[in-house]
Amino acid sequence: MDEKILIKQSINGDVTSFEQLIKSYQKMAYNVAYRVMGNEEDAKDMTQEALIKVYKNLKSFRMDASFSTWLYRIVMNTCKDALRKNKTKVISLDQPLDTGDGEMQWEIEDEGLKPDEQLVQKETQNEVQKALQLVGENNRIVLVLRDIKGLSYSEISDIIDVPEGTVKSRLNRGRQELKEILLKQRTSQLKAIRKEG
């Protein structure tokens, strides 16, 4: 059904229409939140909180604007707001990630024995996700929107409400940061292997 019709019905309070409206966005919103927040629990909370805000504020959405840009902007703002409130949560490279509910999240799911390749791939992914959390929050958001969500500079600029030049410099700094963090991780892993050997 036409997005505009769904928006109008949602404004009138129709929850089912709203659920249909966000159906194609919620998974991506959750993924983006997951990469920004660093764990599934926070990602779920933030995505849902943002979607509720979207629902409650649909009335103020301007029909000629892009709904997806608006939605992602709310998701990003909600994540940023949460990160700001949880500033005390500092993740250290030397320690396993602790979300407060015990160590978790790096192992996405246990699939029993798997081929080596797949294992290596999963380990790399965990490593990248962990390193991403150490990248400064503003740079991290831009990295996620660009390389994970695949948005253009101009779309990112609309979502986070900064000039394209800022998007560009944040991407540059973000990639630098990520590179250095990953190198540092690799070096400390190597040292650990040498010690064991």
Q: Binding of another protein at residue 175 (CB under 8 A)? A: yes
Residues 111-130 that bind another protein (CB under 8 A): 124-125, 128-129
Which sign does the torsion angle of CA 32, 38, 41, 42 carry?
negative
- Beta bridge partners, 62, equal none
| Minimum separation from the CB atom of position 109 to another protein (A) | 9
Residues, the chain, total? 197
Contact pick of 3, 5, 15, 66 for another protein (by CB under 8 A): 15
Contact pick of 108, 119, 120, 192 for another protein (by CB under 8 A): 108
Q: If DSSP states are collapsed to H, E and C, what string results for 24-83? A: HHHHHHHHHHHHHHCCHHHHHHHHHHHHHHHHHHHHHCCCCCCHHHHHHHHHHHHHHHHH
Number of residues forming the site for another protein (CB under 8 A): 54
Contact pick of 21, 37, 74, 134 for another protein (by CB under 8 A): 74
Contact pick of 8, 25, 31, 166 for another protein (by CB under 8 A): 31
Q: Choose the binding region for another protein from 1-9, 35-43, 96-104, 187-195 (rule: CB under 8 A).
A: 35-43
Q: Choose the binding region for another protein from 1-9, 32-40, 91-99, 186-194 (rule: CB under 8 A).
A: 32-40
Q: How far apart are CA 73 and CA 65, in angstroms?
A: 12
Cβ proximity of 106 and 97 under 8 Å: yes
| Minimum separation from the CB atom of position 194 to another protein (A) | 24
| Minimum separation from the CB atom of position 110 to another protein (A) | 15
Cβ contacts of 74 within 8 Å, gap of 6 or more: 50, 53, 54, 57
- 10 Å Cβ neighbour count for 123? 11
Phi-psi region of 39 (alpha: psi -120 to 50; beta: other; left: phi over 0): beta
Residues contributing to the site for another protein (CB under 8 A) = 13, 15, 18-19, 26-27, 30-31, 34-35, 40, 43-44, 47-48, 51-53, 55-57, 60, 62, 65, 70, 73-74, 77-78, 80-81, 84, 108, 124-125, 128-129, 132, 143-144, 146-148, 150, 152-153, 161, 168, 171-172, 175, 178-179, 182
